[in-house]
Structure 1
């Protein structure tokens, strides 16, 4: 049963700004779907980590709390997080963590690993986005799938699709396999195919490599910057298929965004992408094994054209009010569990 007094929840990310673009509106869509009579939301700030009041700390991407390019600042943040965890334990607060990734995309320092391990041990409830997420510590879990993006981006019509236009988008990191995609695409024989790579690279080295490879094929176009929402929506609207060639994939907001805008996705087979395919259907989620090749790309385009599918991907299980309710249930479980544990 919902609590009579709203639970005060501190989100581990900075408060959203109307004037600052966001790279992922996930947290904002989730929070704005929570009824005020059940949840009062605050946002984490280092200036208030000793005194800001809350009942539950909701942690997303915990490494973001301590990462910094300057080693001394990184070290100070790790120490401060240790102090914050001690305060949470002493004041009998609860911690809920959404497990977006099994491990951080980029490895951190030894001190970071230790403090994040301490946070995991102190976590009362883990929210998992899919059933394939491991739970090595045996912490109570609540399944809350990733919500759709139809409340943030307008759905494009099918007549905006440019035949043969392939797209990959998002923050370009090494594990995302864009080099494999470039190599495979350059070997495709169909000259009507085009490839657009849209998104900011993680380093000059990565962007230089992509630019060098793209220069070898006039069918490849690049937009290597942070893409504003309206321009990203236009890129997706023109795509016949979105290719996400990640070498490792556990959860993908990019896949949900493409499906939210009714564009099929090509992804590597994994436990989590098999679940995605089972939910949306093989006509929307196409999977490949092993190395991404030009044959895989060409077969995917042919299959998409030959296979009928509904005009819209079914997002009924990923409506934000439903997911907000499940998230609040996780808060309530953590709050009650933590309080009971500290009575004894």
Structure 2
């Protein structure tokens, strides 16, 4: 049994895009489009798998290629034949390294490959999941490479309206420029993971009682995600029945040691610092009363969508698509620039009706349907191909 039951005026360019969209709509049941997604991250993230399946239901032939980092794009394209569209994800994986000179060299390779694709008539779409690589290893070279890449790309997808403006400003794009920048929300994870363990069993398995209020951090533990700071902030709460559960794979041994030391200082906190198999995610999500994502910076968060899909309210910064997607009725948003923002948000969550908020979030997640979002993606493909 699962945890919860579902309770301005047009420019010439925009007018041309409207006309192309009309043609795309007429073509939806027509000729099949072929798409190559790169790089392939389906083993570690269900996002591409859900998008692929949705696109295939709308007459798009999708193949995946380029698993791993620094994989060259053109060999992947040649391996699968000439597609109509190459759809790029997590672009930084293909060229950002520890050394600026090597990042620049791989960046030039990427730009040359994008130029070759353009000259050969292959259209390119890029989904911007993050503005830049979180480790900030070569930020200036990365930004310059991406700005130049947008001049060779036909379409950009972001996950909220606010991100559209952010991307256009960061990459110095205008409304009349290529590429076509569209907001297509991040789909839900309702069917992506098993969800058969109910709340009582999940909490019993983890040693939590009905009176406990369990805050869960779930996901990769990286420096920008502020997990040690979350533990410190939690320790300031005067709430004997509050619990903090930190679950995820640390980015480094040093970060893992820091989290362990902070957690050890408060017997209300626990840490499970390891990779979590897909069938175990439900145990942590269904035991939680709220999911806390104390990120320093964020554009899009799959963890927030995951929490919504399991019927949990989210405590998160009011930034990027996270702030735009999280309904304030069902979530606790805070200003990360305020010194006491996170602590106040946790205190507010303790006083809130978290069960009702979780039900509202679940209902909101059902509207993030992959079939609809895939259709909107297909319309972009058709538009740029026409």
Consecutive unaligned residues of structure 2, counting only runs of 5 or more, are 1-25, 67-71
Q: Say which of 21, 26, 34 aligns to 1:8.
A: 34
1:287 equivalent in structure 2? 333
- SS of the aligned residue for 2:117 comes to helix
Where in structure 2 are the equivalents of 1:197-276 lying within 5 Å?
Answer: 197-270=246-319, 272-276=321-325
Give the alignment partner of residue 153 of structure 1, picking from 176, 190, 193: 193
SS at match of 1:314: helix
Partner of 2:183: 143
What is the CA-CA distance between 1:89 and the residue it aligns to? 2.0
Q: Distance in 1 between matches of 2:275 and 2:51?
A: 23
- Who is 2:156 aligned against? 126
Which residue of the partner structure matches residue 104 of structure 1? 133
Following superposition, the deviation at residue 117 of structure 1 comes to 2.7
Rounded to whole Å, the distance in 1 between the matches of 2:375 and 2:355 is 39
Hey, what's the Cα distance between the residues in 2 that align with 1:68 and 1:174? Answer: 17
| Structure 1 residues 165-220: Cα deviation after superposition (integer angstroms, max 9, x where no partner) | 11001111111121221111111222222111111111122111111111111221
Q: Is the 8 A contact 1:241 1:301 kept in 2?
A: no
* CA drift at 1:294: 3.8
CA distance in 2, matches of 1:81, 1:193: 49
Whether the 8 Å contact between 1:5 and 1:37 is mirrored in structure 2 is: no
Taking structure 2 as the reference length, what is the TM-score of the superposition? Answer: 0.77
Change (3 A) 1:143 1:113: closer
1:95 offset after TM fit, Å?
1.0
Distance 1:119 1:67 in 2: 14
Moved more, 290-299 or 67-76: 67-76
Measure how far apart 1:306 and its partner are. 8.6
Query: Matched residue of 1:167: which SS?
Result: strand
Q: Scaled by the length of structure 1, what TM-score is found? A: 0.86
* In structure 1, distance between residues paired with 2:311 and 2:365: 10
Q: C-alpha displacement at 1:122, in angstroms?
A: 1.2
Distance apart, 1:157 and its partner CA: 4.0
Map 1:190-201; keep pairs closer than 5 Å. Answer: 190-201=239-250
Which residue pairs with 1:89 in the alignment? 118
1:151 alignment partner, SS class = coil
Q: Comparing 105-114 with 201-210, which one deviates more in the overlay?
A: 105-114
C-alpha distance 37-288 of structure 1, shift in aligned 2 (>3 A) = closer
Deviates more, 1:30-39 or 1:206-215: 30-39
Q: Does structure 2 retain, via aligned residues, the 8 Å contact 1:85–1:119? A: yes
CA RMSD between the two structures: 2.6
Identify the residue that residue 342 of structure 1 maps to in structure 2: none
SS class of match (2:376): helix
**Higher helix proportion (structure 1 or 2):** 2
1:34-49 to structure 2, matched below 5 A, reads 34-35=55-56, 38-45=59-66, 46=72, 48-49=75-76
2:372 alignment counterpart: 322
Q: Residues 76, 259 of structure 1: CA spacing in aligned structure 2 closer, same or farther, 3 A cutoff?
A: same
1:78 paired residue among 101, 107, 119: 107
Cα offsets for 1:245-273 (capped at 9, x unmatched):
11222211100000000011111122534
Contact kept in structure 2, 1:50 and 1:84, CA below 8 Å: no
Once the 2 structures are TM-superposed, how far is the Cα of residue 31 of structure 1 from its aligned partner?
0.3
